[in-house]
Chain A
């Protein structure tokens, strides 16, 4: 019996199943000298895994305390909604004291090239560590600079800027768009 092995290591009979693995639907590669035509068909459309992320990163928050300790979250231009739901831009998992939706908003303003934190429209509060090392509730937009600490639910984060004026390092994607 002519046995084939797909790249996931599934063994199957070529006589019975042809060149497509019955377990994972992967087409087995061509032998030397064969054409590279995909037996599953030629794709002309784009698929989910081929979508490019058109938005560019402008900064990060890194969890330093809480359920997601060590995890980083990308901040993209304009509003980034923070919560636990899958539709949130920054999704913090494992900390149930973070509200499901809109616990906080981290916003990057491309015009002014700076990042601010805003309270969300949910019940939870957002805190920012002030210069006297005490947690201050965020009631209105507060500008963030690298090293600022935020408390959202039971988790603590440090902000790291990429765009903006960051102690001498100045970056704005617009400078690169005009080149």
Chain B
């Protein structure tokens, strides 16, 4: 694994029958990192397929094209990639009920991160002792931006099931603990699991830490 970033992830299916969250992290040849989390329609076969398709399109486009895109155009790249994923999903799942997909992407380049988020997933940034939500997503819109990502910071991509059922203080306590980032992601999802909620949705936590 790359020494610049440490990655942790965890996932549970909750009370659902289909795991419709899918995620990936991928490095390109310049050691830039893309983390993607897609959340498809609940308990719908197309939801799982659409989430996987969205993630694969994002990672493949990143692998093939991002090296030739200027870094300052990262946000445009993320937007274009999301539009491409959406168009492919609409084309493929043309019949029947269209799956709705939440897509969160974070691009890590050196000591900066660029994010794009549409839907119900959350992108959070832990810097020092604070939790900061990147962008405020409203229905039918998306958020994107760029911010500093200094050493020791942690960025988290959380599906709705992981975000809504863990109190920010619980999350902060886990993130601030002296664990490896993989164990922190597991601990966040363990917290969700232990609550044993009747209507627990699929929950996924994907953390990326800038190595100290």
By a beta-carbon cutoff of 8 Å, the part of chain A in contact with chain B is: 1, 3, 5, 8-11, 23, 84, 86, 93-94
B26 is contacted by which of A8, A23, A84, A94 (Cβ under 8 Å)?
A8
Whole-angstrom distance between the Cβ of A58 and the nearest chain B Cβ: 25
Residues of B within 8 A of A23 (CB): 9, 11, 22-23
Asked if A9 and B25 sit within 8 Å, CB to CB, the answer is yes
A11 is contacted by which of B7, B22, B59, B91 (Cβ under 8 Å)?
B7
Residues of B within 8 A of A3 (CB): 182
Asked if B91 and A5 sit within 8 Å, CB to CB, the answer is no
Give me 12 other A-B pairs in contact (C-beta within 8 A), A8-B24, A9-B7, A23-B11 excluded. A1-B180, A1-B182, A3-B182, A5-B1, A5-B7, A9-B59, A11-B7, A11-B9, A23-B9, A23-B22, A86-B95, A94-B91
Report the bound CA distance from A3 to B185 in whole Å: 13
Task: Tally B residues with Cβ within 8 Å of A.
Answer: 21
Asked if B182 and A93 sit within 8 Å, CB to CB, the answer is no
Interface centre among A1, A5, A9, A23 (most CB of B within 10 A): A9
In the complex, what residue of chain B is closest to A12 when comparing beta carbons? B9
In the complex, what residue of chain A is closest to B26 when comparing beta carbons? A9
Residues of A within 8 A of B22 (CB): 23
Asked if B1 and A10 sit within 8 Å, CB to CB, the answer is no
Report the bound CA distance from A8 to B58 in whole Å: 11
Asked if B8 and A10 sit within 8 Å, CB to CB, the answer is no
Asked if A93 and B26 sit within 8 Å, CB to CB, the answer is no
Top 3 A-B pairs, shortest CB-CB distance = A9-B25, A8-B24, A9-B24
Residues of B within 8 A of A93 (CB): 91, 94
Whole-angstrom distance between the Cβ of B194 and the nearest chain A Cβ: 18
Within 8 A of A (CB), among B96-121: none
Whole-angstrom distance between the Cβ of A116 and the nearest chain B Cβ: 29
Report B73-102 CB contacts with A as 1/0, cut-off 8 Å: 000000000000000000100110000000
Asked if A11 and B24 sit within 8 Å, CB to CB, the answer is no
Residues of B within 8 A of A1 (CB): 180, 182-183
Report the bound CA distance from A10 to B23 in whole Å: 8
Whole-angstrom distance between the Cβ of B55 and the nearest chain A Cβ: 8
Interface centre among A10, A86, A94 (most CB of B within 10 A): A10
